[in-house]
A = this chain, B = another copy of it.
Amino acid sequence: MAKPKLYIPGPIQVSEKTFKAFSQPMMGHRSKDFQELYARVQPGLQKLFYTRQPVFMATGSAWSVMEASIRNLVSKKVLTCMNGAFSDKWYGVATANGKQAEKLQVEWGKPILAEQIDAKLATGEFDAVTLIHSETSTGTLSPLEEIAKLKKKYPDVMFIVDVVSSLSTRKIAFDELGVDVMLAGLQKAMALPPGAAVFAVSEAAFKKAEQLKDRGYYGDFIEYRANHEKNMTPTTPSISHFYALESKLEDILTEGLDARFARHLENVMIVREWAKKNGFELFPELQYATVGLTCIKNNRNIDVAALTSWLKKNKNVQIDGGYGKIKGQTFRISSMGDETTANIYELMGYMDEALKAIGA
């Protein structure tokens, strides 16, 4: 039987077109051919990030860039905003890199608010803050626009923002926001196979990095910038991910960013409507619910494992039964990437059948 279609929030379903691009023949990564490929993806990435800064692609998971951001930018102390399984890890990553760090921990499913960050930064203890814009484990979106306004008040603080499940689902304008690092793994909202991440770095962050020693080599922002001038990467890149990214940016720009954002919103509205109709609540408050996926609260106390199993077995589709400590208490449905309203309606039909079948 074919592998189940993925509606889990990452890795998500990868299209045939992307896989075809992903499997193009190799070339030397110091060749003119590669330089041309590198140059071709740049304008699309800059449009997606709404930036004039270079946008880099790192070979590695997003954590390689998260760790790099810490190493490049933290000299005093970093405030790690934590509100879910992924953001909760960032504190440990900071301390594993020998950095002073402090947790801003809020309950899972709650957003990080600007006033909470403001109160911490007001102490003057911090020179960096980390935030996951869309915390995928809980489907929660923190109000980045308001948080980013703090940059004006604290210009010396480096704002490091992960947008893995929000990039390309809504407008996130790097230059306008004025944050310092924006990064995303490509296997969630970008619907690429996992293994690479994209990121942009502000001028202020480059300046800060230049002053720091012990930035390491693999994730050194200054190395990235120097190689970017030659349309190259510091180390051997995953050429396949560059090819796939080229193809995906083509998809995105052909559809148009605004149309893509609208489609993502429509998709998620269908899932939210299904949840409401079936007596389920969202795990985060509606105003903080992200648009690439839906984290549904299991307030009806159904057998979530039975639900996901039934769907896999009978419909060959896979949704997620909740992550980490909220496994079973929540379930998650991705509507990111290439999903259409038709796909999502179809999935909701399956979900209706599944609820009946498991007697919920």
Contacts and interface: CB of A to CB of B under 8 A. Distances in A.
A3 B24 contact: yes
Nearest to A98: B214
Contacts of A3: 24-27, 33
A3 B34 CA distance: 12
B194 A29 contact: yes
Nearest to A194: B236
Contact of A11 (B6, B235, B239): B239
A64 interface: yes
Nearest to A215: B96
A154 B70 CA distance: 35
A18 B191 CA distance: 22
A28 interface: yes
Interface of A: 2-3, 6, 8, 10-14, 19-20, 22-29, 33, 59-64, 67, 71, 92-93, 96-98, 185, 187, 193-196, 213-218, 220, 234-241, 318, 320
B193 A238 contact: yes
12 contacts: A11-B29, A11-B236, A13-B25, A22-B23, A59-B195, A60-B235, A67-B217, A96-B214, A97-B216, A187-B236, A216-B216, A238-B238
Contact of A195 (B24, B25, B241, B320): B241
Given A97-B217, A216-B97, A217-B67, A236 B196 contact: no
Contacts of A12: 26
Contact of A216 (B6, B67, B187): B67
Nearest to A20: B23
Contacts of A96: 214-217, 220
Contacts of A93: 217
A224 to B, nearest CB: 13
A11 B27 contact: yes
Residue with the highest number of chain B CB atoms closer than 10 Å, among A10, A22, A217: A217
Nearest to A318: B28
Contacts of A238: 193-196, 238
Contact of A8 (B20, B28, B60, B239): B28
A86 to B, nearest CB: 10
Given A97-B217, A187-B236, 11 more contacts: A6-B27, A12-B26, A14-B25, A26-B193, A60-B235, A96-B215, A98-B214, A195-B195, A195-B239, A195-B240, A195-B241
> Which of A25, A28, A67, A218 has the most chain B CB within a 10 Å cutoff?
A218
A249 B57 CA distance: 29
Nearest to A13: B26
* Most B Cβ at <10 Å: residue of A20, A71, A238, A318: A238
Contacts of A234: 63
A59 B241 CA distance: 12
Given A195-B240, A239-B11, A6 B26 contact: yes
Given A195-B237, A218-B60, A14 B26 contact: yes
A136 B22 CA distance: 26
Q: For A22, A96, A236, A237, which residue has the most chain B Cβ atoms within 10 angstroms?
A: A236
Contacts of A23: 19-20, 22-23
Contacts of A28: 6, 8, 11, 318, 320
